[in-house]
Structures are given as structure tokens and as C-alpha cells.
Structure 1
Amino acid sequence: MFVAVEPFDVLILSVADKGASDKYEVLGRCVVPLSDVEMRLDEKPVRCLWYEFVKQEKIRSVGNILMSISLEGGYHVLDKSTCDSSDLRTTAKQLWKSSVGVLELGILNAQALKPMKRRDGQATTDAYCVAKYGVKWVTTRTITDSLSPTWNEHYTWEVFDPCTVLTIGVFDDSNLQGGDKVEGVKDSRIGKVRIRLSTLQTDRVYARSYQLMLFHNTGVRKTGEIYLTVRFICSSSLNTTYMYSQPLLPKMHYLQNLSIADESYLRHHAQQIIIMRLKCADPPMGKEVVEYMLEIGPSMWSIRKSRVNFFRLMAILEAVAKRFDHICNWRNPIITFLIHILFIILVLNPKLILPTFFLSLSLISIWNYRKKPMHPPLTDICLSCADTALPDELSEEFDGFPTSFSPDIVSMRYDRLRMIAATIQTVVGDWATQGERLLSLRSWRDPRATAVFLIFCLVSSILFIVTPFRVVTLLTGFYTLRHPWFRFKLPSMTLNFFRRLPTSTDCML
């Protein structure tokens, strides 16, 4: 698969003969104009055609080859990751759906920008903004010699999916003196803002300042504020809501999905094509600007990102466990007492379980309405662990591939990585141990334990036959919600029995 760009050119396929010394002799080539290639819109197979190979020097036929060639109109080539993309439409325009609204952006001014260079002995900044949504890139005029520039420029985009992201970047123009872009002179980054359209209320004007931050290998630095106005005008609330039930990507991505390697390969080539096109635009846009807007860079190992993902997962688990722990340990006796009453009602009338569950979720959502955010969320330094990352961790995160550091530093980082991998290895081993203990209950590897388990299962089956299920459920719930007076710090008999079961660690080297 290749990335084809309009206006379409030709596909050139060469056939070569490999010699004994790894030298290739071109036997012929086939030139296929892409304008003659059919566009596939669904998962139907592409018909195969015979194509003629021609000797380049003598322009004579040297053979034929059977190929199936098609332009894949049902796919979409992403220029960013799916969760941060601003355009999710198919390649074929005939498959596009009607727009669901219009996005309006006003880039008003910036305040307290950090100076990015010195001119005539004065620290200054020549700031301009770049905004990207969908395939449309816009650039504001450059305000020279000002740390508080005012643009007052407004732009609009058509919106085809509300779950997309608008990106605004602020840069310092380093090419004012020369007029045209000078090779080797790069515009400096000042900061970037991302706004997800789904967090915007319909037809409401959001006017506020956004903090600009620059994150690099020395840490995070606040570089100023930018004042924006954003409004999402929805043409039909019903169509916008209907989009939430549709697949995020075009259907072909699910009917004949691409591998992760193919997606990365195509995304990389699409990004390079965008860089080349914007470089030739009027006014031209530097490669460093496009890379920053598309977040092109080394996406290698990062201790900071690993820590962030771990904290995100733990925050979710902790929120659930904390609420359950408060109920079981009677932190709020009134709520726990109400839970007891609700539990008895649900056990006596199981038909109310699902209605009560969904009713509770709806009441919680209504209660949380008073806490809804008034503005789109901002970049969170604490959530990103950018303020607690060590300098060496940041240096490793921004290091390219292959590494450019000395062997001593690489050796130190390798040892640190081994320590982290050892922790992951231990956790995975613990999960495997618990699974093997479950399987050992019926394998007679420990005859005493399996015999006890067998007797327990036989007795439990008789008790569950004799005892009504509602009584068993009530006793289990009351035992789980028992008061802390009846709780003990020592592990239970069941947990002690489970931890004594054998595992495969005895057979490992």
C-alpha cells in the first residue's frame, strides 16, 4: 500500500534480475497511470488485469504481469493518532456524509509571551499562530517586536464529526529579515492548544485564555497565554447525536483492517507529503511547524509516559475501590444503612436490579450536572507528570533512534530499564501464579487440597439445593457489608487455603 496524492501521477513497477554479486539488472518496467485505475469503495475484490512490461532502452515488450491495482477510497489515511485526529472521512468524496455543523475560531491576542530571540540588544518575539482542523491549515499574520501581540483574526471550518480535535500552535518567526524561508533557520515553538469539539456546547461562544507551555528535554516551561474564542454551531442536534453511534473510522478499517505497521507506515508518508505541500504553499510553512502541529517526533520509551499511564489506571481502580471500601467499612453509616435496605429490596425482587442500576446511574449523572466543566479542559502539568520528571528521564524521552548518547549513559539507562522490567516481570508472574492455583484445585497435584476442595464442592452443592438462593445472596451481602467490629486483620480461611496451593514455580529454573 502507498499513499497516493491528487493530482495522481503514475505507478512504476520494475522487474530486475539479481546477479551473483547482489547487483540488479532491470529487465523491464510497467508504467500504470493512476487516472486509469478504478477506485474501490467497499470490500469487494479487485479484478486482476494483465500489464505489459517494456524494456526502457528499446521500448519493446519483454513480458506481461498479472496485477490487481486499485485506489482504496474506503480508507482514511490518518496524519495523527485516531484520538487526536481532526478529520476521519474516507478518501472517496462520494462516501462523505453531510456536515453536522460549523466551527468558528477567533484568535484574538496573546499575553506575556517569553522572548525567543534578541534583536538590537532587546529580547523580543515575532509571534504568529497556526490553526489546523481537517485538511485546512490557516496562518495568522506575524506581529513583530511584541510580547503581547494582537491578531483579531477569525476562521471557520466545516465539521463532519464532533469527536475531533482543533489544534492551535504559536510560533516565533525567525525568517523576517530574509523574507523567504532560509534553509537551516527554524521557527521557534512557543506553545500549543488542543480543543476537543465534543466538549463544546452547541452555539455557545467560549472566550477565555489558554496557557501556553513548552515541553522539551529540560522540562516544562510556561511561555505565555493566548486568548481564543471558539464556537461550534450545530446544524442538526439529531445528526450530531447520531454520529456517536457510528464507527470512528470508515467501515473499511473494520471490514479489512490494516496492521499497526501498515498504519504507521502510511501515517509517516502522509505526514511527509503534508510537509512538502505546506512548504510550497503561500505563505510557506516550515517543516518544524508542521511536525509540531502533527506531533511528529521520536515516540520511543518514556518513563514519564509510563508513570502517567500507571497513575491513570490506578486512579480509575482507586475511585471504585475507595467508594466500595467506604460502604463496607461504614465510613458514612447513613449511606451504608440505605445500601442495606436497597440490597434487601433487590434480593426479594430481582426484577428491580437492572431498573435500579440504570436509575442510579441517571440520578448520579443528574447530580453531577452541577459540577460540569464550564470550559474545555486545559493541559494538566500534574497529570502529565511533567513537573516531577527527572532531567535524565526527559533527556531519554527526547532522544532519537538510534541513541546519540555515550555508552556510559546508555548503560545506566539500560540498567534502569532492567529494574522496571523486573517489576513488570514480577507482576506478570504473580498473575500467572494465581491462575495456576485455580487450576491446581482440580488437578490433584496437592492431594489434600484437592480433597478438601472436593468435599467443599459436594457440601456446597447440597446446601445450595436446600437453601433458597435469596437467603444465600442475603447472607453473602450482609457478610460483605459487615461492620468493622466484626472484621479481622488476619487473612480469611479461604485466602489462606488459596495461597497454599501449588504452582509451576517449583518446576522453573
Structure 2
Amino acid sequence: MDKPIGKVRIRLSTLETSRVYTHTYPLLVLSPSGVKKMGELHLAIRFTTSSLINVLFTYSRPLLPKMHYAQPLSIVQQEILRHQAVQLVAQRLGRMEPPVRREVVEFMSDARSHLWSMRRSKANFFRLMQVFSGVIAAGKWFGDVCQWKNPVTTVLVHVLFIMLVFYPDLILPTIFLYMFLIGLWNYRFRPRFPPHMNTRISYADVAHPDELDEEFDTFPTSRSPDLIRMRYDRLRHVAGRIQTVVGDIATQGERLQSLLSWRDPRATAMFLIFCLITAIILYVTPFQVIELCLGFFWMRHPRFRHKVPSAPANFFRRLPAKTDSLL
């Protein structure tokens, strides 16, 4: 069988028009023994187009034909279709001169990407955390504002909040102007070369040898029963943590539904009275006053805060969920 020597992926949309890129890309291969550098590939790339307008218009066009959106395929059908496509391409390239082996087609098309891999699961988890890192950082920053850790910043936030409340027409322009300024600021840090295979975000450089051996195992497995039992127990542990997180999310949604379902008669009655009183207050009180009161209450000084959870949080956590009916 042909042994893989690595590959390089370059997305055309990451290339500037009519610019020549000359860069050396390492050819990295992940094997059961770890990451290995097989060599380097020196490329000179230039992306040209006859019509820039057509290229910009391509961004607005759908990725697939209309039929795929009118009658979408299920996940199982997509997997079957992907497998059949790999087989057809391998058969056709196998009849070429010189022939291309099947393992080459499977390696280039990532035919094993749907199989379980502890390393890939960790990489996807930390990718997800990095995606939400901006939201988490903004939440921490706003928490510091509410805690008055920097009084100057908190006062400025209060002034900005008052301006947006009394001039709501400035909310959307302020948001888009802020994103525009962030984009201009990030222009200095734009990548100079197309990205290549990254062992750090793939968690290939810190993967455990047993995790790599599991990833390169055949399907069905060819390992010993004791090793399979150990890996199965580890998989149960990871799946149990995922199951707990999914259950917690479902519990919060079921508590929201129980507000009006009368599963807890007293809680639903109190919530309905709260909704009625809130509707009357919102009708007779200007909305700007409500926004100011809520904003100032949310950003109040720590001396006016309690260490125990608030009454609405306690009320929500006591609402029933379907966990009481699970076996």
C-alpha cells in the first residue's frame, strides 16, 4: 500500500487577487507513533480572475443546486453518498496511467473523518471554546463592569448606556461602526500566507499513543478484547460527560416550558400574576424608564448585591423538569 506523505489545503477565498504567494509548506503525517514530517512543499501561487464582480457575486450564490434545498438528504444518505463517491473516484483513478491507489483517494478525501477519534473530539471541543471565547471574554468584561473593578470604565459604560437609551436610533449604527473599527484594527494582523496543516489546533502533537492507535485501528476493530474493553470504558466516561451537559441544557428548556404548563400550579400562578403586573407596568411606564431601571439595577455597586442567588434565579431553579420522570 502507498504510504501517505501529507497534504496541503489552500482555500481560494483566502488568496488576494493577482498576488503571488511563495511559501514553503511542511508535509505532516499523523501515524500511530505520532506526528512525522515527511518533507516540504514549496509553492508559488497566484489567484487571478477575469471579472472581480463575478467573483464577488459568487459569495451570494448557494453552494448546492436548488434540488438539495428543496429535498435535502438525511445525514445517513449523505454518508452513503460520500462513501459511494469515494469508491467511484477510486475506481476511475485506478484505471489511469499511472494508476492511483485507493488509499490515496481515501486519504485525500478524508474518508475516515466520520470515525470516532479522541484526538479529533478534543480538537473540535477546543475549537468550539475558541469560537465562544469572544463572548466569554465580553461576559467577563461586563461582569467586571458590574463589580466596579474599574470605576472609570464603569462610569463610561453608564454614560454610553444612558445615551443609547435616550437615543435608540444610535444602537445599530454604534454596533456596526464598532465592528467596522475592529475590522480595520485587525487588518494589521491579517495572515500573510495561506494557512497550512496546524498540529497544535489538531492536538496531534500532544495526543496519547493509545488515542492514536485507536484512531488508526481498522473498522471493525482488530485489537485485543482487553484493550477494547479499556477503550470502551473510556468512551463511556467521555460520553457520560456529554450526556450530562445535554441533559442540563434540556432541563433548562423544560423549566422554561413548565412556566405555562401548570405542572407546578403554584409556580405557574405566580408567573401569570407576574406577567399581568409586568404588562400593566410596561403599558403605563415609558420604555426608556424601564431600560434605565433595569440597566442601573444590573450594573449596581457590589455593596448593593447579595452573595446568594437572586429570587428569580431561585424561582427558576425550583421549576419542575422531565428529569423527575426519567428511569
Give the CA deviation at 1:390: 1.5
Residue of 77, 86, 98 corresponding to 1:271: 86
Residue of 142, 149, 173 corresponding to 1:327: 142
Give the CA deviation at 1:326: 0.9
Which whole-Å CA distance do the structure 1 matches of 2:186 and 2:86 have between them?
A: 41
Which whole-Å CA distance do the structure 1 matches of 2:51 and 2:81 have between them?
A: 34
Task: Determine whether 1:453 maps to 2:271.
Answer: yes
Give the CA deviation at 1:298: 6.5
Which whole-Å CA distance do the structure 2 matches of 1:333 and 1:283 have between them?
A: 72
SS in 2 for 1:210: strand
Offset from partner CA, 1:344-396 (integer Å, 9 cap, x none)? 22211222222222222222212211111111122221211112222222222
Residue of 237, 241, 247 corresponding to 1:429: 247
Offset from partner CA, 1:305-352 (integer Å, 9 cap, x none)? 222222122222232121232134136655544433332222112222
Q: 1:176 matched to which residue of 2?
A: none
Give percent identity, aligned residues only.
Answer: 56
Offset from partner CA, 1:38-71 (integer Å, 9 cap, x none)? xxxxxxxxxxxxxxxxxxxxxxxxxxxxxxxxxx
Whose strand fraction is larger, Structure 1's or Structure 2's? 1
Matched ranges for 1:94-173 at <5 A:
none
Which whole-Å CA distance do the structure 1 matches of 2:243 and 2:81 have between them?
A: 34
Residue of 222, 234, 248 corresponding to 1:416: 234
Residue of 397, 407, 428 corresponding to 2:215: 397
Matched ranges for 1:151-300 at <5 A:
186-297=1-112, 299-300=114-115
Whose helix fraction is larger, Structure 1's or Structure 2's? 2
SS in 1 for 2:9: strand
Give the CA deviation at 1:238: 0.8
Task: Determine whether 1:508 maps to 2:306.
Answer: no
TM-score for the superposition, normalised by structure 1: 0.59
SS in 2 for 1:442: coil
Q: What residue identity is the alignment partner of 2:273?
A: I
Q: Tell me if the contact between 1:304 and 1:389 (Cα under 8 Å) persists in the aligned partners.
A: yes
Which whole-Å CA distance do the structure 1 matches of 2:312 and 2:18 have between them?
A: 58
Q: What residue identity is the alignment partner of 1:197?
A: L
Give the CA deviation at 1:213: 0.9
Judged with a 3 Å threshold, the aligned counterparts in structure 2 of structure 1 residues 443 and 285 are, in CA distance, closer, same or farther, namely: closer
Which whole-Å CA distance do the structure 1 matches of 2:54 and 2:251 have between them?
A: 50
TM-score for the superposition, normalised by structure 2: 0.89
Give the CA deviation at 1:244: 0.1
Q: Which blocks of at least 5 consecutive residues in structure 1 are unaligned?
A: 1-185
Which whole-Å CA distance do the structure 1 matches of 2:297 and 2:195 have between them?
A: 42
Which whole-Å CA distance do the structure 2 matches of 1:300 and 1:397 have between them?
A: 8
Give the CA deviation at 1:461: 2.5
Q: Which blocks of at least 5 consecutive residues in structure 2 are unaligned?
A: none
Give the CA deviation at 1:444: 4.0
Judged with a 3 Å threshold, the aligned counterparts in structure 2 of structure 1 residues 506 and 187 are, in CA distance, closer, same or farther, namely: closer
Which whole-Å CA distance do the structure 1 matches of 2:226 and 2:139 have between them?
A: 49
Task: Give the greater-gyration-radius structure (CA).
Answer: 1
Residue of 202, 206, 209 corresponding to 1:388: 206
SS in 2 for 1:370: helix
Report how many residues are paired: 324
